[in-house]
Every structure is written in C-alpha cells, then in structure tokens.
Amino acid sequence: YVLTVDLTAGNDKGVLSFKKIADGEVKPEPAVVQTLYFDFGSNGTNTARGEQTENPDGNGNYWNNIVNNSGNYATAGTVYSSLINAENTQTTYALTLDSRFTTNGASGGGGLLAPTGDNLGDLAIPSATGDYFFIEQSEDNSSFTFSGLDKNKGYKFYAFGSRKATDVRTALYKVSGYNNDEGELQIAGTNCGGEGINQNVAKIYVSELIFPDDDGKIKFTIARQEGSYIALNVLKIEEYTNVER
C-alpha cells in the first residue's frame, strides 16, 4: 500500500490518499486538495444590480467576490489577487480580466434570487446566483485568466449562469491550459428552468480535469453559442492532487 499526504491547503488540512499497490505500479487515488468559490457580479454599491457574498456563507464556505470597479463595468487588466479557498486560507493564485465585463443582476437584472440546495448544492447562495458578469450583444466572447497555479495539480471547473428572459440564451464556456475543455449551458429561455420558469435554475457546466500550461495559467472564456447577452454568475474550482498531465 502507499499513503500520500498533501499539505497544500495547510498543515491542519492535509489530504490523505491510501491505495493498494497492484502489479508493482503505484497509483494513488486522485483527491481534492482545496476548493475555491467565486461570485461574479456587483460590488453592492447599487443593490438594485446585486451584492457581494458575505463570508462565510450558510454552509461555512468562503468566497472570492469578483466585482465591478468602473461604473457597471469590471475593466480589462483588473487583477484579483491573493484568492482564498473555501476554508479562508489565502492562496498564491490570482485572477486577471483579459477583457472588460459588464455586471448586472438582482430583481431588475433577472438574476436567480431563490436558488435551492436540491438544484445547485453548495452553489445555492442567493447573493452569488443573484448577479453576474456578462458579455454584451456586440461582443463575441470575453475571458479571464488564473495564474500562479500548481502545474502538478489538476483543476475541475463548475460554472453556473442564469438570467431571466424568454429568448434563448446559451453560453459556451471554454477552459484552456495544458489541455482544453468546453461545454454549452442554456442560461435563459421560455420554460428553461421548468414550466413558467424562464431561467436556468439547476444546470451546471462541469469541465474535465484541466492542467495549467507551462506558465501555471488557465484561461476561462465566456462565449456565445446562441442568443444575445451571455452571463456567468458563479464558478467553483476543485484542485486535485495525485493526477498526471
């Protein structure tokens, strides 16, 4: 047998994995080292467009608020550094906006104001699902990049987008590093979330395990598959150890 201990998240939060050695080959089980949560949306100055998530949330998790800094916009080049994980431990990771994003949400902006745990699990935090970043009708895509990541770790992305509207709006979320993944998510449309519910209330894009490029970076792109304005409300990242590129 082989015992692996990963202390990335702190000495008191070690991740243990224990696996039998078969045929002379050691293959420890992949294990989650740490989780990071992101609330994309308003800085709360104008509560009609949304609010930041207060820490910790009702589940005891800590969030990174990625918010506007110039009117209703989050400007290209903005760096959100010293990101924290769900345990409120500071990491060396940063998020940089490659493009300008517009923010909106709350009741006037059609955010998801009453998420349920049955539908979204740990992402069902109203302040997080209630507002969002979005790309304008005239924009094909916008992106942000995570840097300082551990090239020996793998990262799984969980993305949720929702905006109340009767027209069909489908996002194409793309994640690119050493390897790439992408997936569609319908965020709006008549009965999209059930009879009489014109927004996504339960579907989440889940990526394959993505490894950072040689510079320790992973890019997340919000693109348009169908429709006008395309939103991203919430992002969760799980960091895995005992994985190979």
pLDDT, tens digit (0-9, with 9 covering 90-100), for 209-234: 999 999 999 999 999 999 999 999 99
Q: Which of 242, 127, 105, 244 is nearest to 187 (CA)?
A: 105
Cβ proximity of 193 and 222 under 8 Å: no
Q: Which residue has the tokens 């009708």?
A: 137
pTM, 2 dp: 0.90
pLDDT digits (tens, 9 = 90+) for 156-180: 999 999 999 999 999 999 999 999 9
Stronger pLDDT, 24 or 199, i.e. the higher one: 199
Q: Which of 133, 62, 138 is nearest to 97 (CA)?
A: 133
Contacts of 58 (CB under 8 A, 6+ apart): 125
Average pLDDT, the chain: 93
pLDDT for 6? 74
Task: Specify the pairing of strand 101-105 against strand 131-135.
Answer: antiparallel
